[in-house]
Amino acid sequence: MERLNKFLARAGVASRRKCDQLIKEGKVTINGRITTNPAERVSGKEIIKVEDKVVKKEDLVYIELYKPRDYLTTLYDPRGRRTVADLLSGVTTRVFPVGRLDSESEGLLLFTNDGALSYFLTHPRFEVEKKYLVYVEGKIEKRGLSILKKGITVKDIPYRIRRGEIKEIYSNCSVVEVTLLEGKKHEIRIMFDYLGHPVLRLIRISMGPLVLDKNILPGEWRFLSDEEVQLLQKYQEEKLGR
C-alpha cells in the first residue's frame, strides 16, 4: 500500500506536487469514487482514473542523456525547433526530462517516468547538489568565486553558488567547477556575467550521486544500470530521513 499521490507520481502522471493538486481539485477517482485526499492509501489493484483516464502503473525507466548544445529541454516545441525528445530514438516508454538545461548548455540530463524521484531531484528544498564545468572568458580569481558563494542580487533576484573551484587557467579563459543547490533560469551565466567573465561553455557533470558517463558522446543516451538506480534511491531515502 502507498499514498495515492506517490502512486500517481510513480505512474508517470506528473510530479508529486502536481498530483496533489489534481487530487485536491477532485480530478481523481478510485473505483468510481472521487477522492480529495492525497494521502489515501492504495494498492494499485484499484481502478484509478485521472480526469476519466485510467492510470496504469508503468515499469519505471531511467535514462541518462548527454544533452548537446542547441537542443531545447522539452518534449515538444510549437516552433519546430530541435528538442531533446528528438534524441531518444528507440525509447517507447513515456519519459520526461528531470530539470532543465538551457539551449546553449550541455551535459547530464536524466529522463524518467518516476515522478517522485523527479520532484525530489529538482525541488530546491531537498538541496540536491548539481555540479557544472564552466568555461569562462578571462583569468578568473578566487575572490570572484568568494563573491558568488556569499551571494549576489541581479534585478532583485538573489543568486549564489554552493561551492566553486578553479580547475584550469589559460591565457584567455578559465575552467571552473561550480556546485548549485537550485537551478534558476540562466543562473550560472548571470553570475559570471556579473563578475565580468561571460560563459563560453557550460556542462552539467553531476546531479546528486549520478555522474555524467564519460563514455557517451553529446547526443547519445543509455539506460541507467541497476546499481545507479539503487544509488539514486538510497540517496533519496537518506535525504528524506527514511
How many whole angstroms separate alpha carbon 98 and alpha carbon 10?
Answer: 14
Neighbours of 242 (CB within 10 A): 6
Instruction: Report yes or no: 111 and 65 within 8 Å, Cβ to Cβ.
Output: yes
How many whole angstroms separate alpha carbon 89 and alpha carbon 79?
Answer: 21
CA 60 to chain centroid: 16
Question: Residue 236 belongs to what H/E stretch?
Answer: helix 226-240
Q: Give the residue among 203, 208, 211 at the shortest CA–CA distance from 175.
A: 203
77 is catalytic: no
Q: Give the residue among 206, 240, 163 at the shortest CA–CA distance from 64.
A: 206
86, 102, 213, 226: the catalytic one is 102
Q: Match 555524467 to its residue by C-alpha cell.
A: 212
In DSSP terms, 29 is beta-bridged to: 34, 49
Q: Which are the catalytic amino acids?
A: 102
